Homo-oligomer: A and B are copies of this chain.
Amino acid sequence: MFESILENILRSKPIVHCITNFVTVNDCANIILAGGGSPTMAHHRDEVEEITEKSQSLVLNLGNVHEVDSMILAGKKSNALEHPVVIDPVGIGVSKLRNETFKKLSQSIHFSVIRGNISEIKGIANEKGITKGKSMTKGVDANETDKVTQDNLEEVVAMAKRLSEAMDSVIAISGAIDIVAGKEKAYVIRNGHPIMAKVTGTGCMSTALIGAFCGGNPNNILEATSAAVAAMGVSGDIAFEKMERFEGGTMMFRMFLIDSISNMTSEIINGGMSIEEM
């Protein structure tokens, strides 16, 4: 599985244009490079259209709420060029500004992929009338009460599929159990380690990597996104093991996480991943 996905990235070395937040921008650039892409983190409104034109995909991150105009310019251009557009709705629900910014972006741009934690995705689903409930997000982390477990898995997958249909986007939900859903088909991936939540930006990095994988596979967004999510999960497993071997902590884990992406092969993914179609 995923052989051709990885080959396409290594062969085409897609340029990934990211308009992302300043907290995790360096990690995002490095994970794109590790995954075989070439990152360009330009966000000045006077150049984003030109940059996008020379790129193969676009990654938007709601953490950079200052740059909504640049995001819209780049997003519209990407849509016109039929480049994949991946959005990370970081912190949706924590402020009116973020909710309104997301709304504005989604009215102007078609997203190929939306990747967030379960609280962020539920926030969007509530907004679209797919689920009923009040967004409970307090910070940038998922709420305990929202978390995906074996018990609510079927229900969450069904929600993700409906949201995928409503938004015409692949929906990727990160957590202890990862879900990547199209309208009719979803992948459930059980890899990675809880320590990922103790490193800032593992979500942003996942989104950036999805941008690289989709940039190299623009006609196969569901599989490309699943492969990126699986690569992150398997790398998380490898990184945790190495971290323990060298008696490190969260920063050593981050190093080995990106290192493992840089050493990733389809053999390693296939050997390590636990994936299920639903």
Contacts and interface: CB of A to CB of B under 8 A. Distances in A.
Interface of A: 15, 21-27, 29-30, 33-34, 38-42, 44, 46-47, 50-51, 54-55, 65-66, 91, 94-98, 138-141, 197-201, 242, 246-252, 254-256, 258-263
A40 B139 contact: yes
Contact of A25 (B23, B46, B96, B260): B23
Contact of A50 (B54, B94, B199, B256): B94
29 contacts: A15-B139, A21-B41, A22-B22, A23-B26, A23-B29, A24-B26, A26-B26, A30-B200, A33-B200, A33-B250, A34-B251, A38-B141, A42-B91, A42-B94, A42-B95, A44-B65, A46-B95, A46-B96, A46-B97, A47-B98, A50-B95, A51-B94, A248-B259, A249-B258, A249-B260, A249-B262, A250-B262, A251-B255, A252-B256
Given A50-B97, A198-B262, 16 more contacts: A15-B138, A22-B22, A22-B25, A26-B200, A29-B201, A33-B197, A38-B141, A39-B200, A47-B96, A51-B94, A54-B138, A242-B247, A249-B256, A249-B263, A250-B259, A251-B255
Contacts of A252: 255-256, 259
A140 B40 contact: yes
Contacts of A66: 44
Which among A30, A66, A141, A247 has the highest number of chain B CB atoms within 10 Å?
A: A30
A139 B38 contact: yes
A198 B30 CA distance: 8
A23 B41 CA distance: 7
B94 A65 contact: no
B26 A201 contact: yes
4 smallest CB-CB distances across A and B, nearest first, come from A249-B259, A249-B262, A47-B95, A29-B200
A40 B250 contact: no
Given A30-B200, A199-B33, A200-B26, A51 B250 contact: no
Nearest to A93: B54
A269 B139 CA distance: 29
A217 to B, nearest CB: 19
Contact of A54 (B34, B139, B260): B139
A47 B30 contact: no
Contacts of A38: 139-141
Contacts of A198: 33-34, 262
A125 to B, nearest CB: 21
